[in-house]
């Protein structure tokens, strides 16, 4: 293959000039960057490449937070429950939390901001019934044997990212503090500091904001353990200053209990209250203004603005229509799989899209005896599969190059990835691949705001993976979808309730998730207008695919409110006296054609049973239904109990989509028969791209865009080949 160059950002590092010169050719690097903890020498800056310089403004300057302890980021914490037994009950507020990270906020009046709550009744305790002194709240009057908690405010005295690096990567530098940018004087200070920073970085071509204003939710307990974690959580943007402003803007006051929702930290997997949605909007407005001011300064300095979608991204939601106003030039996302790629490639903005691949060159992975190639190749197989459908512009890595340089095989392996990425972009023209005429809509509470986000349900909690890496176990339809030749969108329940004709934007709707979650939807399924709208749409020809606990809310003798469409329902112990319907088993159904050899699923016990005699049972363990298909009037429904990502399950979902869209006859258009392989067609470039997703040799039959057999193809492990479309 002709050696190519470009589209690659290298993490440079002072002292690594020799290897960098080598990699510029070997990887075809055309831009260099610094990382958290690395600096670029003048030698590197003089090489003449575009330079990405990283800054997280809220933690860039350390004098302000040290001098203005009241301007730190804050958070509401909740004490553990304690039982009132007739005697005064003492809550040592900081007892259970990392005192390295948090300091009690005693500046703002506890009686105004804190709440003591009777968790047995849910009622707020009157302020007269408790006192505060010396780090302790004392409940003086309570109800015997009720449990109580205190919601209280803390200052964050150690930036979450700095703390993470200290704990995970053994960084020993000073504990970085971040500031809360909300107050006008802090805001002004940060802008002023940024002006100076821009002046001090004349060689910088791209300012890589990492990220903006507010950290996602990541709370550490007394053992420094990350005990609460929500990458999309808005609970660490809280300060009394922001809450006061919120009251002015929105006309009502939020309480601690809005962030600790009935005893639970409010997070992405729980359907949000309307108050939380107001709060999110409020924070978004602020983050957009903050971001726009920075971008304007960057542009004024003749540089480009990049946002690394990472730590402090709360409020800056690339899928929020408001986001475009910020004027960002480049969006960079960390990517370990196809979902992460689609999260960047599908952002509805006119920007340059760049992926930062894993593993990060950090000591937790690059230690003696490790095999970073394995992780990298596994990631690349998933990323490449999704890339075939929706490309990005650039790729890159981050961290300490000096660490990665000790693994020469890894360096060569990345040269292979960079060459392959460029070859793909050159041959296909970097255009979106052809898709079948099927528009799939993923339906949940969040809609497009949380495009390409994954939830895996309770199983996630019981999985012991690497805390810092999103390893998805359990049902992962997003990853399955990421590489399918269909159009994928996201839609919320509210959008349907406001305008049911929005359903007509889609041929197939997928509702997936655990009962009660924001993804499945929870009690919104008791809304007659919602159920009737979807049912009408199905009767008129729509396809509805339910995975896990679709349309689940106990109401009028049903758990799945669309059991009539799905054919099945969930047994929760309330109908064990009532037998299941007698249905036909159809193990040779179209949907299963590539899954005969068995498929992965989470458990043999789905507790889902057939409700309708005309539901076809495609896969089951005894009476536990795993896949069902039902034709309802004009439309079709499919139920799947769980769908972990693998090549077979992805193909199964593809077949379920085609079947429910009544497009079985188009299934072989632009098709590769072996599920371990994928084929994509680029009409304007006149080329098919076929990939082998596995580490083994594969053979496959490929079909052209008319659905005609083209030929049999043999692919080396991990191979990508192009076939001209004559």
Tokens 């390409």 found at: 452
Distance of alpha carbon 123 from alpha carbon 115, whole angstroms? 10
Question: Which is nearer to its own copies, 633 or 714 (by Cβ)?
Answer: 633
Question: Which is nearer to its own copies, 463 or 709 (by Cβ)?
Answer: 463
- Quick one: CA dihedral 215, 219, 223, 225, positive or negative? negative
Pair 324, 432: CB distance under 8 Å: no
DSSP symbol at 721: E
Taking CB under 8 A as the binding criterion, the range among 156-164, 227-235, 366-374, 477-485 that sits at the site for its own copies is: 227-235
30 is catalytic: no
CB of 455 to its own copies, least distance (A): 8
Question: Which is nearer to its own copies, 144 or 724 (by Cβ)?
Answer: 144
The b/e string for 651-670 (b: 16+ C-beta within 10 A; e otherwise) is bbbbbbbbbbbbbeeebbbb
Q: Going by C-beta distance under 8 Å and a sequence separation of 6 or more, which residues neighbour residue 330?
A: 206, 304, 305, 306, 307, 351, 352, 353, 354
CB of 505 to its own copies, least distance (A): 19
Distance of alpha carbon 69 from alpha carbon 219, whole angstroms? 19
Which of 71, 311, 346, 678 is an active site residue?
A: 311
CB of 662 to its own copies, least distance (A): 19
Among 26, 229, 413, 487, binds its own copies (CB under 8 A): 229
Is residue 574 within the footprint of its own copies (CB under 8 A)? yes
Pair 449, 319: CB distance under 8 Å: yes
Is residue 460 within the footprint of its own copies (CB under 8 A)? yes
Question: Which is nearer to its own copies, 398 or 548 (by Cβ)?
Answer: 548
CB of 628 to its own copies, least distance (A): 15
CB of 410 to its own copies, least distance (A): 31
C-alpha dihedral (334, 338, 343, 348), degrees to nearest 10:
130
Question: Which is nearer to its own copies, 268 or 649 (by Cβ)?
Answer: 268
| Contact pattern for its own copies over residues 260 through 289, marking x by CB under 8 A | x-xxxx-xxxx-------------------
Is residue 250 within the footprint of its own copies (CB under 8 A)? no
Q: Which phi and psi (to 5°) does residue 245 adopt?
A: -65, -40
Residues in 142-171 at the binding interface with its own copies, rule: CB under 8 A: 143-147
Is residue 297 within the footprint of its own copies (CB under 8 A)? no
Residues in 105-124 at the binding interface with its own copies, rule: CB under 8 A: 119-122
Is residue 75 within the footprint of its own copies (CB under 8 A)? no
Tokens 């300490």 found at: 400
CB of 612 to its own copies, least distance (A): 8
Tokens 């993976």 found at: 465
Residues in 484-513 at the binding interface with its own copies, rule: CB under 8 A: 513
**Plot region of 56 (φ>0 → left; ψ -120 to 50 → alpha; else → beta):** beta
Q: How many amino acids of this chain bind its own copies (CB under 8 A)?
A: 77
CB of 80 to its own copies, least distance (A): 8
- Tell me the two tokens of residue 699: 């053979």
CB of 294 to its own copies, least distance (A): 29
Pair 292, 305: CB distance under 8 Å: no
Residues in 580-599 at the binding interface with its own copies, rule: CB under 8 A: 580, 582
Distance of alpha carbon 628 from alpha carbon 550, whole angstroms? 13
Total residues belonging to the chain: 726
CA–CA distances in Å: residue 227 to residues 209, 269, 468: 27, 16, 13
Question: Which is nearer to its own copies, 229 or 378 (by Cβ)?
Answer: 229
Question: Which is nearer to its own copies, 128 or 144 (by Cβ)?
Answer: 144
Distance of alpha carbon 618 from alpha carbon 639, whole angstroms? 10
Distance of alpha carbon 190 from alpha carbon 188, whole angstroms? 5
Is residue 623 within the footprint of its own copies (CB under 8 A)? yes
Is residue 199 within the footprint of its own copies (CB under 8 A)? no
Distance of alpha carbon 23 from alpha carbon 394, whole angstroms? 16
Distance of alpha carbon 63 from alpha carbon 184, whole angstroms? 17
Is residue 709 within the footprint of its own copies (CB under 8 A)? no
Residues in 633-652 at the binding interface with its own copies, rule: CB under 8 A: 633
Among 251, 274, 622, 708, binds its own copies (CB under 8 A): 622
First-to-last alpha carbon distance for the chain, in angstroms, is 22
Hey, which residues does 699 pair with through a beta bridge? 714
Residues in 438-457 at the binding interface with its own copies, rule: CB under 8 A: 455-457
CA–CA distances in Å: residue 512 to residues 339, 547, 638: 16, 5, 12
Question: Which is nearer to its own copies, 149 or 211 (by Cβ)?
Answer: 149
Pair 447, 265: CB distance under 8 Å: no
Distance of alpha carbon 437 from alpha carbon 439, whole angstroms? 7
Pair 58, 190: CB distance under 8 Å: yes
Question: Which is nearer to its own copies, 322 or 623 (by Cβ)?
Answer: 623
Among 323, 514, 645, 681, binds its own copies (CB under 8 A): 514
CB of 526 to its own copies, least distance (A): 9
Question: Which is nearer to its own copies, 393 or 460 (by Cβ)?
Answer: 460
CB of 536 to its own copies, least distance (A): 4
Greatest Cα pair distance, the chain, in angstroms, is 86
Question: Which is nearer to its own copies, 251 or 573 (by Cβ)?
Answer: 573
DSSP symbol at 220: E
| Contact pattern for its own copies over residues 385 through 414, marking x by CB under 8 A | ------------------------------
Distance of alpha carbon 721 from alpha carbon 702, whole angstroms? 12
Distance of alpha carbon 41 from alpha carbon 34, whole angstroms? 10
Among 238, 383, 510, 533, binds its own copies (CB under 8 A): 533
Is residue 578 within the footprint of its own copies (CB under 8 A)? yes
Is residue 605 within the footprint of its own copies (CB under 8 A)? yes
Is residue 458 within the footprint of its own copies (CB under 8 A)? yes
Strands 206-209 and 217-220 come out as unpaired
- Tell me the two tokens of residue 603: 């458990």
Question: Which is nearer to its own copies, 146 or 289 (by Cβ)?
Answer: 146
Is residue 464 within the footprint of its own copies (CB under 8 A)? yes
Residues in 549-568 at the binding interface with its own copies, rule: CB under 8 A: 554-558, 564
Among 100, 245, 571, 586, binds its own copies (CB under 8 A): 571
**Plot region of 429 (φ>0 → left; ψ -120 to 50 → alpha; else → beta):** left
CB of 74 to its own copies, least distance (A): 19
Distance of CA 22 to the CA centre of its chain: 35
Distance of alpha carbon 177 from alpha carbon 332, whole angstroms? 24
CB of 159 to its own copies, least distance (A): 20
- Tell me the two tokens of residue 703: 């079909």
CB of 584 to its own copies, least distance (A): 14
Residues in 315-344 at the binding interface with its own copies, rule: CB under 8 A: none
Question: Which is nearer to its own copies, 396 or 474 (by Cβ)?
Answer: 474
Q: At what angle do helices 372-387 and 338-345 cross, to 10 degrees?
A: 50
Taking CB under 8 A as the binding criterion, the range among 79-87, 342-350, 646-654, 706-714 that sits at the site for its own copies is: 79-87
Instruction: Name the residues annotated as catalytic.
Output: 311
């Amino acid at each position: 293959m002709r050696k190519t160059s470009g589209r690659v950002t290298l993490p440079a590092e002072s002292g690594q000039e020799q290897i960098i010169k080598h990699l510029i050719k070997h990887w075809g690097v055309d831009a260099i960057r610094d990382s958290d903890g690395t600096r670029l020498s003048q030698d590197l800056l003089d090489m003449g490449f575009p330079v990405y310089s990283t800054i997280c403004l809220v933690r860039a300057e350390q004098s302000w937070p040290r001098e203005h302890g009241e301007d730190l980021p804050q958070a509401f914490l909740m004490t553990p429950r304690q039982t009132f037994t007739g005697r005064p009950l003492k809550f040592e507020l900081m007892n259970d939390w990392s005192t390295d990270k948090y300091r009690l906020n005693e500046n703002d009046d506890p009686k105004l901001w804190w709440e003591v709550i009777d968790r047995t009744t849910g009622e707020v305790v009157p302020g007269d019934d408790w006192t505060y002194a010396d780090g302790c709240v004392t409940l003086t009057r309570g109800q015997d044997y009720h449990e109580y908690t205190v919601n209280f405010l803390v200052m964050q005295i150690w930036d979450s990212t700095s703390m993470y690096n200290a704990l995970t990567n053994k960084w020993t530098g000073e504990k970085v503090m971040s500031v809360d940018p909300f107050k006008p004087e802090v805001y002004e200070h940060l802008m002023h500091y940024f002006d100076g920073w821009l002046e001090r970085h004349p060689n910088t071509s791209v300012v890589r904001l990492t990220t903006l204003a507010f950290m996602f939710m990541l709370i550490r307990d007394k053992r420094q353990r990350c005990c609460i974690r929500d990458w999309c959580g808005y609970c660490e943007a809280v300060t009394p200053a922001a809450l006061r402003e919120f009251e002015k803007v929105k006309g009502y006051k939020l309480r601690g209990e809005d962030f600790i929702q009935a005893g639970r930290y409010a997070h992405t997997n729980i359907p949000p209250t309307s108050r939380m949605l107001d709060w999110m909007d409020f924070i978004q407005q602020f983050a957009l203004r903050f971001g726009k001011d920075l971008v304007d300064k960057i542009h004024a300095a003749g540089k480009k603005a990049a946002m690394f979608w990472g730590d402090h991204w709360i409020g800056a939601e690339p899928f929020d229509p408001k986001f475009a106003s910020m004027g960002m030039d480049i969006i960079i996302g960390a990517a370990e799989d196809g979902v992460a790629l689609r999260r960047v490639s599908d952002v509805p903005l006119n920007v340059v899209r760049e992926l930062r691949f894993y593993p990060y060159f950090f000591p937790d992975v690059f230690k003696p005896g490790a095999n970073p190639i394995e992780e990298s190749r596994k990631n690349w197989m998933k990323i490449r599969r999704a890339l075939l459908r929706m490309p990005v512009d650039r790729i890159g890595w981050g961290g300490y190059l000096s660490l990665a340089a000790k693994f020469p095989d890894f360096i060569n392996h990345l040269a292979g990835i960079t060459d392959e990425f460029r070859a793909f972009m050159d041959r296909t023209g970097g255009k979106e691949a052809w898709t079948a005429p099927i528009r799939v809509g993923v339906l949940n509470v969040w809609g497009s705001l949380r495009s390409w986000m994954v939830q895996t349900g309770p199983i996630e909690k019981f999985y012991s993976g690497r805390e810092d890496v999103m390893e998805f176990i359990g049902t992962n339809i997003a990853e399955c979808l990421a590489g399918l030749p269909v159009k994928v969108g996201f839609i919320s329940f509210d959008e349907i309730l406001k305008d049911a004709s929005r359903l007509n934007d889609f041929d197939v709707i997928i509702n997936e998730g655990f009962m009660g979650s924001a993804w499945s939807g929870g009690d919104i399924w008791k809304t007659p207008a919602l159920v009737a709208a979807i049912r009408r749409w199905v009767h008129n020809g729509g396809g509805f695919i339910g995975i896990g606990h679709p349309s689940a809310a106990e109401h009028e003798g049903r758990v799945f409110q669309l059991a009539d469409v799905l054919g099945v329902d969930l047994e929760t112990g309330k109908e064990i006296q009532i037998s299941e319907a007698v249905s036909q088993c159809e193990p040779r159904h179209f949907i299963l054609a590539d899954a005969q050899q068995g498929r992965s699923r989470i458990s043999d016990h789905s507790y889902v049973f057939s409700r309708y005699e005309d539901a076809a049972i495609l896969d089951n363990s005894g009476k536990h239904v795993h896949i069902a298909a039902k034709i309802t009037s004009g439309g079709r429904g499919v139920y799947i109990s769980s769908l972990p990502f693998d090549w077979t399950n992805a193909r199964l979902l593809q077949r379920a989509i085609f079947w429910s869209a009544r497009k079985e006859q188009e299934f072989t258009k632009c098709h590769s028969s072996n599920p371990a392989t994928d084929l994509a067609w680029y009409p304007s470039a006149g080329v098919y791209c076929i990939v082998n997703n596995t580490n083994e040799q594969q053979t496959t039959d490929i079909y052209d865009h008319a659905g005609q057999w083209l030929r049999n193809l043999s692919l080396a492990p991990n191979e990508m080949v192009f076939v001209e479309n004559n």
